[in-house]
Amino acid sequence: MQSVEKVADGTLLMHFILTNPPTDNWNFIAGQFVNLQFMDEKNEEAWRSYSIASGPNEYDNPAEFDLLVRVGAEGFGVGTKHLMHMKVGESLPVRGAYGRFVLPKELPKKIVMIATGTGIAPMRSMIQTLKSQSYRGVVELIYGGRTPSDIAYLDELATESSITKTFCFSRTKDFGEYSEHSKHGRVTAHLPAPYIEARYYICGNGAMCAEVRGHYYAAGLTRKEVHTELFY
């Protein structure tokens, strides 16, 4: 681990470099995750998944990547309790990258991204990729948390001209400098209307993912159009 920074309430942005890549040309696709190995209290392996928040071409060295980790106030379990105390220079076994929560080869006219909390990680990687490919379609991001200090990358996303964005805050109507793009309530209260030629990417906690997916399925969309990644 090369650096760590607190970027939102209980949320760390951690920069890693693979020092012993599984192959010489280690690589990932935007939207994929890596598995990190921890040791639990019985000294048994415990693997946890983390979506890569940086774009595949963001760093010159393809073996460099960022993870955005919600650790809360004191960690949730073995993974977050380890990560929140990890020091620069320490390392962890890693496997991957894995996952099918990725953009299609043939890009649609519109891509809708719905994320809460650290669920923004795979979306940010996709946004970086779409920018590097000069994607000409529409990217609509709906991104939620309790308050502005609760979620990461707000400054970057607020000024990102290649996307349209709505930030949804469930516990405050004081949006501060983000008022132009902000609404009160959960993401589920501000979902864009279903659009058959769009692809939908939903990432965050299981309850939110299920509710949003159910909303679009009820409108006639299918697994072909609606992709979900459940974090917990």
Ligand X SMILES: Cc1cc2nc3c(=O)[nH]c(=O)nc-3n(C[C@H](O)[C@H](O)[C@H](O)COP(=O)(O)OP(=O)(O)OC[C@H]3O[C@@H](n4cnc5c(N)ncnc54)[C@H](O)[C@@H]3O)c2cc1C
Judged by the rule CB under 6 A, the positions of this chain that interact with ligand X are 33, 48-51, 68-70, 75-80, 118, 121, 229, 231-232
**Residue with Cβ nearer ligand X (16 or 195):** 16
- Report d(CA 134, CA 57) in Å as an integer: 14
Q: For the purposes of burial, counting CB atoms within 10 Å of the CB of 206, is it exposed (0-12), middle (13-18) or buried (19 or more)? A: exposed
* Closer residue to ligand X (CB): 69 or 141: 69
What is the phi/psi pair of residue 117, to 5°? 55, -135
The CB-of-200 to ligand X minimum distance in angstroms stands at: 17
Nearest residue to 17 via CA among 68, 66, 54, 50: 66
The total number of residues shown for the chain amounts to: 232
DSSP character at residue 7: E
Task: Report the residue number, 54 or 188, with the smaller CB distance to ligand X.
Answer: 54
The least distance separating ligand X from the CB of residue 224, rounded to whole angstroms, comes to 20
- Edge-first strand order for the sheet with 64-70 is 3-8, 11-17, 64-70
Q: Which is nearer to ligand X, 76 or 194 (CB)?
A: 76
Q: To the nearest whole angstrom, how small is the minimum distance from the Cβ of residue 24 to ligand X?
A: 26
Is-contact 229 101, C-beta < 8 A? yes
Q: Which is nearer to ligand X, 2 or 179 (CB)?
A: 2
**CA angle, 163 as apex, 158 and 166 as ends, to 5°?**
55
Query: What minimum distance in Å lies between the beta carbon of 40 and ligand X?
Result: 9
**Please, what is the minimum distance in Å from the beta carbon of residue 192 to ligand X?**
23
